[in-house]
Amino acid sequence: MSATAAFTQIFLATLVLTTLLRIWLGLRQIRHVCAHRGQVPPRFADGISLEEHHKAADYTMTKAHLSLLEVLLGMFMVLAFTQGGLLQYCADQMNGLFPGGGHVRGLGLFALVGLIGLVVDLPFALYRTFVLEARFGFNKTTPGLFVSDLIKQVLLAVLLGGPLLLAVLWLMERMGAHWWFWVWLFWLGFNLLMLALYPTLIAPLFNRFTPLTDEALKARIEALLQRCGFRARGLFVMDGSKRSAHGNAYFTGFGAAKRIVFFDTLLEHLTPAEVEAVLAHELGHFKHRHLWKRLGAMAVLGLGFLWLLGQLMSRDWFFAGLGVSQQDTAMALLLFSLVLPVFSFPLSPLFSALSRRHEYQADAYAVAHASGADLSTALVKLYRDNASTLTPDPIHSLFYDSHPPASLRIARLSAAE
């Protein structure tokens, strides 16, 4: 058997097995949530009614059914782009438009594939926003706002992604055999730049941020920041309610650009003590340097993946095995980004476990600097208001959930308190 045929078989087998695994996990989630729909877990009986528990179960199962369709469509799209010849067809069209080749042709290829992906994903985005989220009372997005957001996202992809991709393609061609190291350095620098610019330049394109005006709450938060030794550029309220009824809080940026942001929906439903406890949890992430640890893990993985691409792009079987005949840097980068999720999905439990460990650490920090009881009641309200299931399937959670299951998290908080 030739190397090309062997790689094709490995790719197809991995694609099918990964898809079957994701479908199996989705079906497990649906069955498990449905089986526990009839009764609120005893620990939550005082804070969540049976009707609210039913809503969370139905919301979770509806999202899971939609995800199953997306998984199947994703598999067929990968097959269409590779073995179906769609990617090579796109390359042929760009060769006709830009016969001189060069980086413009590579940018055009990425743009065309991105456009196809946008068109395919658009019906799901519309259904999720205007049918699924609306059915459960969460959607606040108007059609005009949806279109406006979509236009802004496309423009940002062009204005930021275009130069980024152009620089990567240039480095891949000009930096010799070790181009992957220089691309990695550039990629790290770009990510740090985006972290610095996002709070003040990008986020305000989509939401309005106003200073927190509740003086009593502001004084309480500033006292917490002083206890924790945290300096922030400001406390802001984001108009998340114009898109969704879901609530959250986060801090963003680094260095002098750090700012604390509360969704207006969060402030509407939590008491000042609960807001303080939620913020203490977010400060726990900062104090434990979770952002930098995750960036470090991403950097190591990114370096490894770029090195792997450097080895694959010189192999004829890598291109031919994925159904394309054109062999250049743009095609190699596009193919690699297309098939990497297929091979890397089995690693999902490792990343989810790391994230859940960070959540437990942030909870412990919150208990030490605020009230564990207030954090528990805040979390129960967030589970209720966001219709988050209290009974996820353990195996599904192992793969997908960045936060610990509600029962385990509340139990830990109760023990710590």
Residue 256 near residue 311, CB atoms below 8 Å: no
Catalytic residue among 133, 274, 276, 282: 282
- Is 327 strand, coil or helix? coil
CA distance linking residue 294 with residue 279, whole number of Å: 20
Sorted by sequence, the CB contacts under 8 Å of residue 40 that are 6+ apart come out as: 48, 49, 50, 53, 390
| Residue numbering of the annotated binding site | 281, 285, 359
Sorted by sequence, the CB contacts under 8 Å of residue 299 that are 6+ apart come out as: 184, 188
Active site residue 133: no
Cα separation values, 357 from 184, 286, 300, 324, 350, Å? 27, 14, 19, 42, 11
Q: Strand 249-252 and strand 259-263: pairing? A: antiparallel
Report the chain's terminal Cα–Cα distance, integer Å: 63
Residue 102 per-residue DSSP state: S
| Residue numbering of the annotated binding site for Zn(2+) | 281, 285, 359
User: What are the backbone dihedrals phi and psi of residue 386, each rounded to the nearest 5 degrees, phi first?
Assistant: -95, 0
CA distance linking residue 178 with residue 281, whole number of Å: 42
Following DSSP, what letter does each residue of 352-400 receive, concatenated?
HHHHHHHHHHHHHHHHHHS-HHHHHHHHHHHHHHTT--SS--HHHHHHH
CA distance linking residue 15 with residue 358, whole number of Å: 31
Cα separation values, 6 from 2, 9, 76, 237, Å? 6, 5, 21, 55
Catalytic residue among 328, 363, 374, 393: 363
Residue 199 near residue 259, CB atoms below 8 Å: yes
| Amino acid letter, 57 | A
Active site residue 70: no
In 10 A of CB 77, how many CB atoms?
17
User: Can you tell me which residue has the tokens 């060069």?
Assistant: 102
Sorted by sequence, the CB contacts under 8 Å of residue 160 that are 6+ apart come out as: 194
Active-site residue list: 282, 363
